[in-house]
Amino acid sequence: MANKARILCVVGTRPEVIKMAPVILALQGSNWAQVRVIATAQHRGLLDQALADFGIVPDLDLDLMQENQTLAGLTSRLIARLDQVLADEAPDFVFAQGDTTTVFATGLCCFYRDIPFGHVEAGLRTHQRRLPFPEEMNRVFASYLATLHFAPTEAARRHLLAEGVAEQTIHLTGNTVIDALHYQVARSEDVVLPLTPGLRTVLVTAHRRESFGAPLEEICAALRELVQGHPDIEVLFPVHPNPNSGGRVRERLADVERIVLVDALDYRHFVAAMQRCHLILTDSGGVQEEAPALGKPVLVLREQTERPEAVDAGVVRLVGHDRALIVAAAGRLLDDPQAYADMARGVSPYGDGHAAGRIVAAVRALLFPDADLPS
């Protein structure tokens, strides 16, 4: 069509790319949207890795990450640069995903310039202002700034309604991470991983700010105890580049037999690791959504989760940061076949892999309400 809508998709971190990639690819495949991808590079290396996994090349890279950056400093840089981007690009609609500082700053700049803003994965809540920090407040702020809210689950939709969000602006879509997962599962068969044949793999990730310091010490101590007590397991731990997490993990675990520390995996390799592992311990939000769809039990190394659906389904369990609780919960799944089978049921409450199509259709209807456009 002659007059295509100008759509900006803003991404800043690896998880944002993973969950926005299905939307970006769907928009690129449409006949009504001119898509521009803006990378803030809130995180640098992991962002580039994820973009390459989906074959996405940013149209504009703001390259805002600084070593040991503060949240206030990052926020101020984001607002200044994103406001200029919106002035230069003059978009008809802007997307951002999730709960990072990039998302909050994007929504705020769109609000200032009266540009429609779509929040992908809207409505997640712990109702604890600082758990997780700063993500809980970022997503709350985003909900007050968004024009359209793309809720991944019915619980997320209810949270938005309870906060006074207009029902007609909320679209129940499923989570785009399941779309992304399906995309990468089909490409993961030839992936080579540093796994020892004959050993059960426990996949571990820990990178959130709430895990820094004493909680991470407890997690590392628990992993030491687990491998010492279970000679048939091996821990695969992709280490986050943030020195507050990855640096401490290497100090505590580099010399432990059967704990394999590797640099952060690209998404295709991480999906393959989830497929091939026996059990997952993580503080990641996305992994809580992905692993149940692959039939892998997940123990969440956090005190709260904004993704209670899989906990309610019995395929994810909150264990927190306490060493003894982590060891007990993981040990039960490693030693009790029935307990393991009860959690490894392949139940996913997060969608059918078609969330991106629903999101794109909702934006098309907003921008072209009177047009009969093909998808």
269 is catalytic: no
88 is catalytic: no
240 is catalytic: yes
Half-sphere exposure at residue 356, Cβ-oriented, CA atoms within 13 angstroms:
22
CB atoms closer than 10 angstroms to residue 156 = 26
**What is d(CA 282, CA 236) in angstroms, rounded to the nearest whole number?**
12
For 23, 25, 90, 175, 364, the CA distances from 56, given in Å and listed in that order, are 12, 8, 22, 20, 22
Residues 6+ apart with CB under 8 A from 99: 121, 124, 135, 136, 138, 139, 142
Active-site annotation holder among 125, 208, 240, 278: 240
H-type helices in 241-336, by residue range? 248-253, 267-276, 285-293, 308-313, 323-335
230 is catalytic: no
Active-site annotation holder among 99, 179, 306, 309: 99
Active-site annotation holder among 16, 53, 92, 121: 121
Residues 6+ apart with CB under 8 A from 228: none
Residues 6+ apart with CB under 8 A from 80: none
Active-site annotation holder among 44, 200, 209, 332: 209
Active-site annotation holder among 16, 53, 135, 234: 135
Output the CA angle 97-27-23, nearest 5 degrees. Answer: 30
Active-site annotation holder among 14, 77, 139, 207: 207
- DSSP assignments along 216-233, one per residue: HHHHHHHHHHHHHH-TTE
Give the residue numbers marked as catalytic.
99, 121, 135, 207, 209, 240
